[in-house]
Structure 1
Amino acid sequence: MTIRLGYQMPNFRYSTPVTDLFPTVIAQVREAESAGFDAAFAVDHFYQTSTLGEPDRPMLESYTALGALATATEKIQLSVLCTGNTFRNPPMLAKCVSTLDVASGGRAVLGIGAGWFELEHRQYGYEFGTLTDRFERLDEALQIITAMLRGERPTLDGKWYHVENAINEPRIRNDLPILLGGSGEKKTFALAARFADHLNINCNTSLLPRKLDALDARCAEVGRDRSTLETSYLAFVFIDENGDRARKLQREFLLDLGVDLSTASEAERAAATDRMFCGAPDEVAEQLETRVLDKGIDGIVLNLLANGHQPGIVELAGHTVRPLVEA
């Protein structure tokens, strides 16, 4: 598995009728495929997250959407950034991702995390628990899921999950990749060192050197060669051939979230835009290279919150970023 360039779709608030919503999603993923993206990512939420808008904004169920995308694409890998472990019991999740792999001809990647958005848990009736609870559950889940994806029949009588000779058929392969997402230096990175093929990091860019040092330490603790764990960074990109138009899109997006860049202090501006990359293609490329890739990250997973649904923008982003991450 290699994911040097990924496209994430966390926003489905398009100015189209609902009947045109999924055709717009398909068009973006096909555009990403033709532009050289390695993977397309859904998000595993029932509500729009608090970081991107009001909870009642449109949100698609991830694995249903990916199943449909499997039949609409040919070569791009398909995943979720990231599956909330709390939403499905581990054997069911292993079955979901294995079925996606069969439907897509071997293009599925299991992207998984501990879960974090409490509102949707509470309102949908899922147990949220403490941070410790969620990571204990993720550890047990990964023990079960990894075994099932490898063709084993695990039995586990754990604190959170109980399985007995769990069977997972059919499978195309015994090496379906596992991607972990998060930025926790102790818990997330330790699980990534034990179980993952890929780690996607979502944090302020200024923290990346520290994060990579911590990842080195977690790999050393379990005797893993750090070079065998691929990394990527989740980037929020506002791009347009005209840099001023891109900056206008960023201002409007943040204003919708209650952040007015025109009146914000320097510290407030920095906090609001730290994970954002904005401007014309050459500006975005320079920002990604100096703020992310030069720190030692292998690849970029980007979203295009403001204009990714507009024809040509995903292609523009792909042609801008692909040369930066080619091995």
Structure 2
Amino acid sequence: MTIRLGYQMPKFAYSAPAENMFPTIVAQSREAESAGFDCVFLADHFFQVPTLSEPSRSMPEVYTTLGALATPTKKIQLSALVTCNNFRNPALLAKAVSTLDVASGARAVLGIGAGWFEPEHTQYGYEFGTLTDRFERLDEALRIITPMLRGDRPTLDGKWYHVENAINEPRIRDDLPILLGGSGEKKTFALAARFADHLNITCGQSELPRKLDALDARCAEVGRDRSTLETSYLAFVFIDENGDRARKLQHEFLLDLGVDLSTASEAERAAATDRMFCGAPDEIAEQIDTRVLEPGIDGIVLNLGANARQPEIVELTGRTLRTLVEA
């Protein structure tokens, strides 16, 4: 598996009626595929999170949607960024992602994390629990899912999950990739060192050197060669051929979330834009190169929440970054 350039679709709050939503998702996925992205990612939430849109706006179920993308796309990998472990029995999740892999011709990636958004757990009747609870669950889940993806039949009588000789067929390969997502230097990174092929890191740009040092330490603790664990960074990108238009898009996007960059203090502005990259193509390339790739991250997963459906923006982004991440 290689994911140097990933395209995330976290928002589905399109103005069109619901019946027109999926054709838009297909069009975005095909455009990302044509633009040279390695993987298309969909968010796994039951409703929109407040950092992106109003909760009542559209949010399709992730594995139904990924399965439906297996036919209209041909090359691009398909994944959640990331599956909330709490929402699905781990053996069933292994079955679902393996079926997606079969349907897509070996293009599935299992993206998974411990879960963080308590309101959707409460609304849908899932136990949220403590941080320790969630990571205990994820640890047990990975001890079930990993062997099932590799063709083994695990038995586990755990604190949270129980399986007996769990069969997982059909499968078409024994190396379906596992991607963990998160920022926890102790728990998430330790699980990534033990189980993952790829770690997608979510944090402020200035934190990346410390995060990579922590990841080195977690790999050393389990005797893993750090170079065998691919990394990427999740970024919010505002790009336009005209840098001023890109900055206007960023301003309007944040204004909808209650942040006015024109009146914000320096500290408020820094906090609101810490994971954002904004400007013309050459500005975006320079920002990502110096702030993400030079510190040692392998690739970038990005979303274009402000203008993704504008003609040629996805293609422009792929053209801007493809060569950079392959260098």
Question: Could you state the TM-score of these two structures normalised by the residue count of structure 1?
Answer: 0.99
Q: Give the Cα separation in 1 of the matches to 2:157 and 2:299.
A: 38
The Cα of 1:315 is off from its aligned counterpart by: 0.7
Number of residue-to-residue matches in the alignment? 327
SS of corresponding position for 2:234:
strand
Q: Give the Cα separation in 1 of the matches to 2:309 and 2:122.
A: 31
The Cα of 1:242 is off from its aligned counterpart by: 1.1
Q: Give the Cα separation in 2 of the matches to 1:268 and 1:321.
A: 29
The Cα of 1:245 is off from its aligned counterpart by: 1.1
- Contact 1:14-1:309 within 8 A present in 2 as well: no
The letter of the residue matching 1:85 is N
CA-to-partner distance for each residue in 1:28-78, whole Å, 9 max, x for gaps?
110110111000001100010122122111111100110111111000000
The letter of the residue matching 1:8 is Q
The letter of the residue matching 1:159 is K
CA-to-partner distance for each residue in 1:196-234, whole Å, 9 max, x for gaps?
000000100000000000000000000000000000000
The letter of the residue matching 1:195 is F
- Contact 1:181-1:199 within 8 A present in 2 as well: yes
The letter of the residue matching 1:291 is R
Q: Give the Cα separation in 1 of the matches to 2:240 and 2:68.
A: 29
Q: Give the Cα separation in 1 of the matches to 2:46 and 2:322.
A: 31
Residues 1-327 of structure 1 correspond to what in structure 2 (within 5 A)? 1-327=1-327
Unmatched 5+ residue regions in structure 2? Answer: none
Q: Give the Cα separation in 2 of the matches to 1:16 and 1:264.
A: 33
- Contact 1:41-1:80 within 8 A present in 2 as well: yes
- Contact 1:232-1:300 within 8 A present in 2 as well: yes
CA-to-partner distance for each residue in 1:88-141, whole Å, 9 max, x for gaps?
010000001000000000000000000011000000001100000000000000
The letter of the residue matching 1:225 is D
- Contact 1:25-1:309 within 8 A present in 2 as well: no
SS of corresponding position for 2:294:
helix
SS of corresponding position for 2:236:
strand
SS of corresponding position for 1:277:
strand
The Cα of 1:244 is off from its aligned counterpart by: 1.1
The letter of the residue matching 2:103 is A
Q: Give the Cα separation in 1 of the matches to 2:161 and 2:70.
A: 30
Q: Give the Cα separation in 1 of the matches to 2:66 and 2:266.
A: 40
The letter of the residue matching 2:233 is Y
SS of corresponding position for 2:258:
coil
Q: Give the Cα separation in 2 of the matches to 1:305 and 1:60.
A: 16
Q: Give the Cα separation in 2 of the matches to 1:40 and 1:25.
A: 10
Unmatched 5+ residue regions in structure 1? Answer: none
- Percent sequence identity over matched residues? 83
Q: Give the Cα separation in 2 of the matches to 1:265 and 1:78.
A: 40
The answer to which of 197-206 and 54-63 deviates more is: 54-63
Give the CA RMSD over aligned residues.
0.7
The letter of the residue matching 1:211 is K
The letter of the residue matching 1:167 is I
Q: Give the Cα separation in 2 of the matches to 1:99 and 1:51.
A: 32
The Cα of 1:20 is off from its aligned counterpart by: 1.7
CA-to-partner distance for each residue in 1:155-212, whole Å, 9 max, x for gaps?
0000000000000000010110000000100000000000000000010000000000
